[in-house]
């Protein structure tokens, strides 16, 4: 169901509840006021009717002997019939307003009617269950009189002139009921148009409010997947719609930037793989030509092996970056003695450097490790080894022969583990430092094939550091040489213990 229709229905129902509740409250209050008015009037009339309807008025002390009792609000005649005295009002005599003709009875101890007004009849109008309570105090009741007299409100209370008797005075409430009915019908007739107006108004207002949202939706729908420059138009209203448009535009910008990075990544990866694959293909083609000597074949195989290793490393690095972009780099954290990892990485790099030095005339580069043997961290051992391999590989590539590459690991007071790798080479070019950790970013001196760099080593270091909740920074030492620092926040295990 559309939001616009839902809002219209909700507003219409809310109007029904609000107006209907107000009407019910109004009718309830009106009925209460009318009942209170009737009860007040009945309380005032009860003594008059009690004194008028007595069987022996002279015994009540209000009429001298031989004087006919008069009904103060009715100038009719008094007729005696048996044991019951009725007052017959004139045809034009009645209570003013909704009270109708007067209702009155005197009910004795035995529940029989001792006296009554003509409009009441000789049958007790008070239920027997209420007579006992009426002998103790005033009781207000709503009853339905026989015949056509309809509903009535009565007051039954002890007769102050005749002990044990109950005087009943009442008034017809037919006019009150009719008034309430007319008012209810009138208010119900108002309720339907009110709900209709509220629903239509909500429909119109919702349409006006959602029109900018529909415009944004149309603009977003018109942007194709290949369009990396299109943006949304942000209205200058400064309201919630403008905030939504701004947020969507920023999201679109981030997605476009991610798409551009992905495209650049695929392009650079293809370019990086194309070079070693072409070199490998050339070496294999040359090795397969007739007349090649064993020495030439061995050289070709060795060169092809290096190209294959370069392809393997590049492929693994690309896979790490791709997984990091898609789902984040998965880590297998475990308590790790950093001395073991750093020493193993340094030993492997030193062996490679020694083999290279024995084949040439340059002295080997020495790798020195400085850290406490008990330094223990909660990290992914394999990924930290990958960080060290990449940093040491870069350092060994540019460190001059006979120099020293330093690996240092330490911790600070807040539990951060710091891994540093420094060399004595030429250092990073100043223009390269801001982009040192970007993918496929290499200094000019490392762009040749002989250097063997793909520009992914430092990117891998940054991805692994961030996956551990840390950072990576590159700088140049004041004395010369490159320096890379990896900080792993809150990775230190204070109590080394056994691994």
Return phi, psi of residue 63, to 5°: -130, 130
CA-CA distance, 337 to 379, in Å (whole number)?
10
Question: Is 288 found in the same domain as 335?
Answer: no
CA atoms within 13 A on the CB side of 263: 10
Q: Please indicate, yes or no, whether residues 460 and 499 belong to a single structural domain of this protein.
A: yes
Q: Is the pLDDT of residue 108 over 70?
A: yes
**CA–CA distance, 326 with 425 (Å, rounded to integer):** 36
Give me the CATH number covering residue 450.
3.30.565.10
Residue 204 lies in a domain: no
Is residue 201 assigned to a domain? no
Domain shared by 316 and 335, yes or no: no
Residue 281 CB neighbours (<10 A): 12
Residue where the block lists tokens 């010369």: 480
Query: Does residue 449 contact residue 275 with C-beta atoms inside 8 Å?
Result: yes
Question: What per-residue confidence (pLDDT) applies to 493?
Answer: 83
Mean pLDDT of 169-180: 74
Instruction: Please give the mean pLDDT across all residues of the chain.
Output: 76
Q: Domain end: 328, 344, 361, which one?
A: 328
Q: Are residues 387 and 456 in the same domain?
A: yes
Question: Of the candidates 311, 328, 345, which is a domain's last residue?
Answer: 328
Sign of CA dihedral 282, 286, 288, 294: negative
Is 185 among the domain residues?
Answer: no
> How far apart are alpha carbons 442 and 429 in whole angstroms?
10
Within a domain: 144: yes
> Which residue segment(s) compose the domain that 161 sits in?
3-180
d(CA 313, CA 293): 30
Phi-psi region of 482 (alpha: psi -120 to 50; beta: other; left: phi over 0): beta
Residues 285 and 339 placed together within one structural domain of the fold: no
Domain boundary pick from 295, 328, 361: 328
pLDDT, tens digit, for every residue of 368-405? 999 888 899 999 998 899 899 889 888 888 888 788 89
92 or 251: which carries more pLDDT confidence?
A: 251
The span from the CA of 138 to the CA of 116, in Å, is 19
Flag whether 165 is in a domain: yes
Co-location of 324 and 362 in the same domain: no
Question: How would you class 457 by CB atoms within 10 Å of its CB: exposed for 0-12, middle for 13-18, buried for 19 or more?
Answer: buried
CATH number at residue 70: 3.30.450.20
Q: Looking at the structure, tell me whether residues 236 and 272 fall in a common domain.
A: yes
Q: Which of 189-198, 223-232, 461-470 has the highest mean pLDDT?
A: 461-470
Please count the other Cβ atoms lying within 10 Å of the Cβ belonging to residue 370.
11
pLDDT digits (tens, 9 = 90+) for 4-48: 777 788 878 888 888 888 888 888 888 788 778 878 878 877 777
> Do both 317 and 366 map to the same domain?
no
Query: Are 461 and 378 within one domain?
Result: yes
Residue 212 lies in a domain: no
Q: Are residues 433 and 481 in the same domain?
A: yes
| Number of domains the chain contains | 3
352 has pLDDT over 80 = no
Segment holding 136, helix H or strand E: helix 128-136
Q: How confident is the model at residue 69 (pLDDT cuts 50, 70, 90)?
A: very low
Do 429 and 398 lie in one domain? The reply is: yes
> pTM for the complete prediction?
0.49
Backbone angles phi, psi at 99, to 5 degrees: -80, -25
Is 106 among the domain residues? yes
Q: How large a percentage of the chain has pLDDT more than 90?
A: 9
345 inside domain: yes
What is residue 37's three-state secondary structure?
A: helix
């Amino acid at each position: 169901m559309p939001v616009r229709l839902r809002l219209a229905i909700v507003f219409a129902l809310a109007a029904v509840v609000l107006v209907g509740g107000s009407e019910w409250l109004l009718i309830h209050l009106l009925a209460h006021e009318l009942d209170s008015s009737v009860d007040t009037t009945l309380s005032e009339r009860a003594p008059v009717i009690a004194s008028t309807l007595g069987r022996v008025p002279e015994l009540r002390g209000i009429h001298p002997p031989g004087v006919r009792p008069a009904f103060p609000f009715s100038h009719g005649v008094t007729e005696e019939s048996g044991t019951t005295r009725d007052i017959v009002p004139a045809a034009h005599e009645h209570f003013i307003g909704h009270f109708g003709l007067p209702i009155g009875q005197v009910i004795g101890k035995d529940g029989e009617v001792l006296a009554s007004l003509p409009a009441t009849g000789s049958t007790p109008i008070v239920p027997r269950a209420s007579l006992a309570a009426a002998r103790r105090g005033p009781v207000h009741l709503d009853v339905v009189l026989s015949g056509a007299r309809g509903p009535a409100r009565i007051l039954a209370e002890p007769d102050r002139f005749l002990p044990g008797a109950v005087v009943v005075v009442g008034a017809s409430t037919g006019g009150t009921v009719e008034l309430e009915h007319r008012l209810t019908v009138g208010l119900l007739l108002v309720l339907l148009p009110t709900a209709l107006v509220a629903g239509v108004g909500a429909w119109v207002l919702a349409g006006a409010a959602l029109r900018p949202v529909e415009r944004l939706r149309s603009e977003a729908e018109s942007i194709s997947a290949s369009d990396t420059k299109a943006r949304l138009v942000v209205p200058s209203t400064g309201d919630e719609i403008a905030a939504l448009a701004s947020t969507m535009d920023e999201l679109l910008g981030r997605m476009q930037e991610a798409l551009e990075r992905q495209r650049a990544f695929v392009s650079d990866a293809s370019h990086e793989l194309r070079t070693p694959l072409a070199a490998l293909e050339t070496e294999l083609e040359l090795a397969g030509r007739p007349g090649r000597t064993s020495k030439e074949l061995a050289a070709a195989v060795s060169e092809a092996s290096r190209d294959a290793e370069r392809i393997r490393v590049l492929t693994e690095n690309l896979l790490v970056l791709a997984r990091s972009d898609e789902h984040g780099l998965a880590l297998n954290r475990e308590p790790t003695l950093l001395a073991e990892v750093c020493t193993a990485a340094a030993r492997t790099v030193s062996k490679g450097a020694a083999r290279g030095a024995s084949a040439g005339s340059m002295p080997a580069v020495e790798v020195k490790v400085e850290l406490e043997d008990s330094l223990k961290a909660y990290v992914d051992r394999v990924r930290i080894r990958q960080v060290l391999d990449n940093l040491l590989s870069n350092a060994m590539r540019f460190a001059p022969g006979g120099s020293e590459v330093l690996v240092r690991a330490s911790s600070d007071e807040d539990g951060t583990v710091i891994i540093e790798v420094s060399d004595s080479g030429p250092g990073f070019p100043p223009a390269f430092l801001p982009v040192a950790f970007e993918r496929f970013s290499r200094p000019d001196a490392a762009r040749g094939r002989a250097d063997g760099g793909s520009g992914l080593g430092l990117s891998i270091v940054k991805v692994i550091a961030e996956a551990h909740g840390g950072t990576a920074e590159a700088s140049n030492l004041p004395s010369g040489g490159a320096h890379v620092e990896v900080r792993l926040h809150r990775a230190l295990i204070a109590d080394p213990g056994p691994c």
